[in-house]
Amino acid sequence: MRVNGEAFRTVWMEGTVVKLIDQPRLPHRFAIADQPTWQHTAQAISTMVVRGAGAIGATGAYGLAQAAQMAPEDGFHAAVAAAAAGLSATRPTAQNLFYGIRTVLRAIEAEGDNLPAARQAAVAAAEAVADDDAACCRAIGEAGAPLIEAGARISTHCNAGWLAFVDWGSALSPIYAAQRAGRRPFVWVDETRPRGQGASLTAWELGQEGVQHAVIADNATGHFMARGQVDLVIVGSDRIAMNGDVANKIGTYSSAVCAARSGIPFYVAAPTTTIDPDCPTGADIPIEERGADEVQFTWGWSDDGRFLRVRTTPDSSPARNPAFDVTPAELIAGILTEKGLVPATPEGLARVVRR
């Protein structure tokens, strides 16, 4: 994808440095954040300098490759194992993170004590994870574009565009494909409290691509659905259970319920790396709860160009901050993958899941 006409990926590696688009600075500043060690890379995942299922999957893979390059010969495998554990502990919900780390770890282990080969294999495996993510998301766009008719009005939640993956995105990829085909869709962009990834990231992406859109408060989505101003919903996912239940950013379930009430098809877009073969149902998905301060405070740019945090709740009021919720399979019209549209059923997922 392009930023002001220049091609970028969300994450890549140069030498032993992992490079990330610094997402908390968007949409007002575009900057690249360098991560010199795997510990810095892990911290970037935890603090959401990088976020989104596919993007943190590739970042975790690059982080482990980074650790393999810098691990000492004496105790190499122990150092790699410690890095894998540290990277895995950064965020608990997104399946792609564990997939990326596991893929690189297997490549390292396959080389045994041939450490030069193990270091080389780690980088190659991480690059393959990133390339696969980008290719899958492009294929999701091609598979999903036929769902979008000329002038279609689409609702989405959070950010499942190219910033959430290595390139193209999942939920936004069909929209980009339809836009480039001349169908000019319109997108309702939920702001996505408390971190505002819709308002800051999705809106910025759509603007870069020239897609018509409007940012709305999260609790306005049902209003526009009820008034017949939404034709379909496409959201992403951080983990898909084998029964078709889907975990995505908090507020997705509410959107799905409103869509069902209004008779609007609700699609989930995700690469097959997001499907967890060891997770039977949505009840088995671990739901990350982040710090209360994300609800109690809001970040933004002041008129004089400062990036400031302001409190929006009473000092004495506690807060809860679940980062994800689970949408049950019966509310989902289908899951868009790189292998096409599949039903949100055990049989449908069994045909495409990676093990």
**Percentage of the chain lying above the pLDDT 90 cut:** 95
pLDDT tens digits, one per residue of 69-82: 999 999 999 999 99
In angstroms, rounded to a whole number, what is the distance separating the alpha carbons of residues 205 and 271? 20
Q: Which of these is catalytic: 238, 245, 276, 325? A: 238
Partners of 156 in the β-ladder: 189
- Note the pLDDT of residue 115: 98
- Note the pLDDT of residue 141: 98
Is the model's pLDDT at 301 over the cut of 90? no
Is the model's pLDDT at 162 over the cut of 90? yes
Q: Is 238 a catalytic residue?
A: yes
Is the model's pLDDT at 328 over the cut of 90? yes
- Note the pLDDT of residue 43: 98
Mean pLDDT of 93-102: 96
Is the model's pLDDT at 323 over the cut of 90? yes
- Note the pLDDT of residue 221: 98
Domains and CATH numbers, the chain: 2-138 (1.20.120.420), 143-350 (3.40.50.10470)
Q: 1 falls in which pLDDT band (50, 70, 90)?
A: confident
- pTM metric for this prediction: 0.95
- Note the pLDDT of residue 2: 79
Is the model's pLDDT at 180 over the cut of 90? yes
Mean pLDDT of 155-159: 98
Q: 6 falls in which pLDDT band (50, 70, 90)?
A: confident
- Residue indicated by tokens 């959201």: 235
Exposed e or buried b for every residue in 27-38, given b needs 16+ CB within 10 A? beeeeebebebb
- Note the pLDDT of residue 281: 98
Is the model's pLDDT at 211 over the cut of 90? yes
In angstroms, rounded to a whole number, what is the distance separating the alpha carbons of residues 99 and 266? 26
Is the model's pLDDT at 300 over the cut of 90? no
- Note the pLDDT of residue 196: 96
pLDDT tens digits, one per residue of 244-290: 999 999 999 999 999 999 999 999 999 999 999 999 999 999 999 99
Query: Residue 235: which of 139, 169, 153, 151 has the closest Cα?
Result: 169
In angstroms, rounded to a whole number, what is the distance separating the alpha carbons of residues 317 and 319? 7
- Mean pLDDT (the chain, rounded): 97
